[in-house]
Structure 1
Amino acid sequence: MADWPARGCLIRRSLLAGWLLVAPAGAHAAPNLQLTGLEEVDLITNVGLSVPRVTFSCNASTAQIRRYVDAAARAAEEALQAHGYFNARIEGRIDVRDDCRDPALHVEKGPVTTVRSVEIDLADSIESIESVRSFVEENRPEVGAPLDQAAYDALRDGLLTRVQRLGYLDARFSRHEIRVDPAEQAADIALALDAGSRYRFGELDIEQTVLNPELARKMAGVERGAPYTSRNLLSINQNLSGTEYFDSVSVRPDLDRREDLDVPVDVVARRSPRTSWELRGGYATDVGPRVGASVKRRYVNKRGHRWAARTQLSAIEQRLDTSYSIPRSADPLRERYDIYARITRHDNNSIVTTEAASGVQWVRETDRWTRSLFTEYLLDRTRYGDNPAESNGFAIVGGRLGYDGLDDPLFPTRGVVFDVSLQGAAEPVLSAANFVRARGLAGGYYPLGRWIFAGRAEAGMISTDDFDSIPRTLRFFTGGDRSVRGYDYESLSPRDEEGTRTGGKYLLAGSLEAMYPVVGDDWYLAGFVDTGNAYTDPEADLKTGAGVGVRWRSPVGMVRLDVAQPLDGSGGLPRLHLGLGAAF
């Protein structure tokens, strides 16, 4: 039985490259290696890519050609062994054609060597790790299968790389070999990995001028003593980059200074510009042309405080709001407190509302989840039709839970999203009425072949004994680009005696849509059905609209152009809907 140490052999499926090295006689006025006896394309290609190039001329000496034939035979033997052929017979010769002589190899590959046994010995500390265990299971050579050195190399190198990325920096193979028995055409594979001890993160030295040093270390999100892994290294970069405090972040582990299983890490973070400005404009059939502006102070002080102000103007709504954010010292990367204020004027469907609110909220963001609790005081002044305007105040408390699992925020094709909120006020606590308001939304995208299917469901409810005092902004309306297409914006709502839409106590809406690409992956045709209504009587009818549309994957997100027909029997004309962004 002979030992066969692992030897690299380039294997490419390039028929062109193989032909350049193994060309038929007479193809060129220069010597070419003639290869016969093999029929399998992968073997011909690998041998052709492994043998040396012919660098001599037709006038070369016989001794030089013989030396080349011997070298080519050795290279061909190694190439065949990489595919499990250890009993190949290779005959070298010199073929004469016209006024030139070609080196030639005739190959009889013989029987293929198969895997007789596989022994992989891992320490319990790493064998219990799911990523390591699954990698070994997926790449373990099968007993009885042809021996494939490339697959063995991928298993050996991939296993060591994964273990080292998990913090076992001193991991080494105490045994790695393929023992081949040519007489039996059998191979025994043995791997034994000595993982050693797992390293930890040592001192995290962050070179930056924006935040207090301790706050910057907390923002990194990886504490000293945490397992040293490549994923945690990447998290440090992503966490600091995602805060907007820094324009660029460089993370470098100092492996040369590691000791006592601690790896010091050096971080260099360059500050972002302190202030940013933004102007924007757009159009949607719901609200018509709209413009907006914002200013953001990315860092106010070394404690990481921020300030921002925004305004948005359209024919229907004018809004101005501002917020001051304070990172929570215990977990500044994921939690913050916001102090905010806003003033809004809304004029639509003969309802004119002016509201002002200020409050505070706690927000926690982890991965794709968002949780928040808030309390605010809301002043609302609303006029319905020709009725006198009424003013009411409410001390509101509430909370929200959201999840965003979409694969692409600009043009989603897979994933789910949901958002639920609950808020309320009590009349004895500076409020015009008692109420509890709940609202929930769930939706998702699912690809099937080239089709993309989307669905959305939304429901809401207000519980109160004095609905007339509830602010317009808390009542439910539907209809428009992002709810029930085929109907005007906020046109689905109960009406008062004068016919003015007053908003509902309940909301129920849903949508189904299918998209199919027609020009590359940027243009889609869509068909959809929407249904829903806002109502006071729980037995109110749902309104349905259906239509077709076009979707464009623009650089700034999904552009939607829809034509929808209301299906309520009213004979209404189809409506055009234009919007930017996903439907939820």
Structure 2
Amino acid sequence: MFRVVLLMLWLAFVSFSHTVSAQSQSQKIEILGVDGELKSNVEGFTRRYQTQTLNHQQLHNSVSQALQALGYYHSQISLEAERNNETLVINIKPGEPLSWNEINVQVDGDAKKDTVFSVLLTKLPIQVDQTVRHDFYQQAKSNIESLLLERGYFDFKWLRKEMLIDKRARLAKVFWHLDSGNRYRFGTLNISKQTQATQYIQSLATFDPKSMFDSALLSDYTLALNATPYFRSAKVYPLLNRRQNGSLPIRVEVVDKPANSFEVGGGYSTDLGAKGRLKWTKPWITNDGHFLEGNLSVSQRRQDITGSYTVPVLDPNNDVWRILGGYQVNDDLQEGIESKIWNIQLQRQWLISDSWVRTAFIKREHETTEQEDKTFKTEMLLPGISYAKKQTKGGTTPYWANEQLISLEVASDSLVSSTSLVKARWNNAWLRSYEQKHFAISRINLGAIVVDDINAVPFNMRFFAGGDQSIRGFAYRSVGPKEDNKDIGGKYLATGSLEYNYQFLPSWRAALFIDAGTATNDFSEKWSVGAGFGFRYITPIGPIRIDHAWGVSKKSKSTRLSIVIGPEI
């Protein structure tokens, strides 16, 4: 008899459990009384009710936890079954959220006098009088720990880590006490293998031995090593298990490039058509790190081949002597015009303050231009100087960028050149983003040639406007002075562009833009204006940009489609 009773109880329990499970999985949940982020958080906490066996008390607790996570500790929650038990309605009166009354952070050790760390403490995502949020609390703690490690406090420890909530008194307080310990200094470089480039591994280091550790300097060092022509890959990291006496050894692991390396690339633009590129690099001509590069670029409208021999001084990236030579064929000026250019150039390039790269050069150039049955030849000897600065974040698809180029070159007809002139240029590009969805891009290009007769200036030195990278809505190099209805280029250039991108899918952006400017001899013409819309498809090699633009200032108001593959900047 006793066994029969046990069996009946067991069957009843199984039946009840099955009923609760089936009910919980079949019931729909409707949440009333809250919306926005609060409702989304409750939905996230209650999903378990629809996939697991939970009773109403457990569901009530889950809803309460979801509300408390965002600071609502005095909410009223009721559960009601409706529509023949098919829907479970959760009614919520959230009440007023708690705010932080006190945030007490006590720091011992070297970090107490670290100004960067002190600034972080003033900008934590939790502040007095702000609504209590558990996710912000965890984020603040994580920010502190991350910065301590980034700045070399590898022995830090928490002495107290507490969040106190008094629901009756409506008080919320944070008490943190940490000991950062001593801040470590950079130790010796530990290079993984013998390599010809040892001297550059040492000279490229962005930190001095015994200077205070900073992970940002390690990142800069890694980028510098990977930018050289010597390494296929380079990795830099601290040897934490070998730290002692306040010193932290730095490990450098490199993989050398082969004696000859090749890169193949390609692209497309409406201006130049399909383009292919072949690059050859020979990294070690001498034991001092001299290197040789060759480039072949072929497109429908332009073909050029260049070679360079580089002699590093201290930094093979930004402190070098370089000899360059090249030959270029252009038939992109307009149908019926073709130019052939050869040049040789000596450069001295070095990095100066605030990331500016200065290049002093002297260039010898010969151009032959054929226009129908006429041939023009020019010879130029051009000493000059340029200043360039490029800063980007985000790789081939940057979300932040600055780019500037300032150049000046001169020529004299008493010293080899066909004419005397002074040519100056200033190019500026700027990109900013907000919340990784909104992107603003601006460009300004200015230029001037001081010369008596523009017709004596080589075609490749004159200014033209129009095209995918200039004024969209106008054909490539179609904006500028004309002769016999042929574009011949001008003395002055002024173009500008404003563009807005919105990322509506992980790999897609929509774009709106307006471009304006002119290439001219006297600024007597009206400026050309183009505007339109487009799309950006994000790829590992940069965005594919498709734009549809109107020549707003043209009488015909004709439209033009442009396609470009490559980074915005």
**TM-score normalised by L of structure 2:** 0.73
Q: Which has the larger radius of gyration?
A: 1
| Deviations 1:490-545 (CA, angstroms, capped at 9, x unpaired) | 2222233x444321001122233444556x24344444433322111232232233
Rounded Cα–Cα distance in structure 2 between residues aligned with 1:192 and 1:167: 19
- When residues 562 and 133 of structure 1 are mapped into structure 2, their CA distance, relative to the original with a 3 A threshold, is same
The residue type paired with residue 464 of structure 1 is: V
* Kept after mapping to 2: 8 A contact 1:15/1:45: no
- When residues 179 and 338 of structure 1 are mapped into structure 2, their CA distance, relative to the original with a 3 A threshold, is same
- When residues 131 and 486 of structure 1 are mapped into structure 2, their CA distance, relative to the original with a 3 A threshold, is same
Identity %: 24
In the TM superposition, 1:265-344 aligns within 5 A as 265-329=250-314, 331-332=315-316, 334-344=318-328
2:487: which partner in 1?
A: 501
1:543: which partner in 2?
A: 528
Rounded Cα–Cα distance in structure 1 between residues aligned with 2:486 and 2:58: 89
2:476 to 468, 480, 489: 489
- Indicate the RMSD between aligned Cα atoms, in angstroms: 4.2
Partner secondary structure for residue 482 of structure 2: coil
- When residues 191 and 297 of structure 1 are mapped into structure 2, their CA distance, relative to the original with a 3 A threshold, is same
1:41: which partner in 2?
A: 64
1:346 to 304, 312, 330: 330
1:477: which partner in 2?
A: 464
Deviation at 1:364, TM superposition (A): 4.0
Rounded Cα–Cα distance in structure 1 between residues aligned with 2:72 and 2:365: 75
Partner secondary structure for residue 217 of structure 2: helix
The residue type paired with residue 324 of structure 1 is: Y
2:213: which partner in 1?
A: 228
1:529 to 497, 514, 517: 514
The residue type paired with residue 565 of structure 2 is: L
In the TM superposition, 1:352-367 aligns within 5 A as 352-364=338-350
2:152 to 148, 167, 174: 167
Flag structure 1 segments of 5+ consecutive residues without an equivalent: 1-11, 26-33, 47-81, 86-111
Deviation at 1:196, TM superposition (A): 4.3
In the TM superposition, 1:123-162 aligns within 5 A as 125-139=110-124, 159=144, 162=147
Rounded Cα–Cα distance in structure 1 between residues aligned with 2:99 and 2:486: 83
* Kept after mapping to 1: 8 A contact 2:186/2:208: yes
Rounded Cα–Cα distance in structure 2 between residues aligned with 1:456 and 1:117: 48
- When residues 326 and 39 of structure 1 are mapped into structure 2, their CA distance, relative to the original with a 3 A threshold, is closer
- When residues 529 and 301 of structure 1 are mapped into structure 2, their CA distance, relative to the original with a 3 A threshold, is same
* Kept after mapping to 1: 8 A contact 2:228/2:316: no
Q: Answer yes or no: is 1:561 the counterpart of 2:546.
A: yes
Q: Answer yes or no: is 1:424 the counterpart of 2:447.
A: no
Rounded Cα–Cα distance in structure 2 between residues aligned with 1:494 and 1:505: 9
**TM-score normalised by L of structure 1:** 0.71
Flag structure 2 segments of 5+ consecutive residues without an equivalent: 1-42, 75-96
- When residues 355 and 263 of structure 1 are mapped into structure 2, their CA distance, relative to the original with a 3 A threshold, is same
In the TM superposition, 1:255-266 aligns within 5 A as 255-266=240-251
Rounded Cα–Cα distance in structure 2 between residues aligned with 1:332 and 1:422: 24
1:75: which partner in 2?
A: none
Partner secondary structure for residue 328 of structure 1: strand
- When residues 247 and 431 of structure 1 are mapped into structure 2, their CA distance, relative to the original with a 3 A threshold, is same
* Kept after mapping to 2: 8 A contact 1:173/1:193: yes
The residue type paired with residue 472 of structure 2 is: R
2:55 to 24, 45, 48: 24
Rounded Cα–Cα distance in structure 2 between residues aligned with 1:515 and 1:22: 47
Deviation at 1:559, TM superposition (A): 2.2
Deviation at 1:477, TM superposition (A): 1.2
1:457: which partner in 2?
A: 444
Rounded Cα–Cα distance in structure 1 between residues aligned with 2:531 and 2:126: 55
* Kept after mapping to 1: 8 A contact 2:163/2:174: yes
State how many pairs are aligned: 501
Rounded Cα–Cα distance in structure 2 between residues aligned with 1:554 and 1:501: 36
The residue type paired with residue 163 of structure 1 is: L
Rounded Cα–Cα distance in structure 2 between residues aligned with 1:436 and 1:139: 54
Partner secondary structure for residue 487 of structure 2: coil
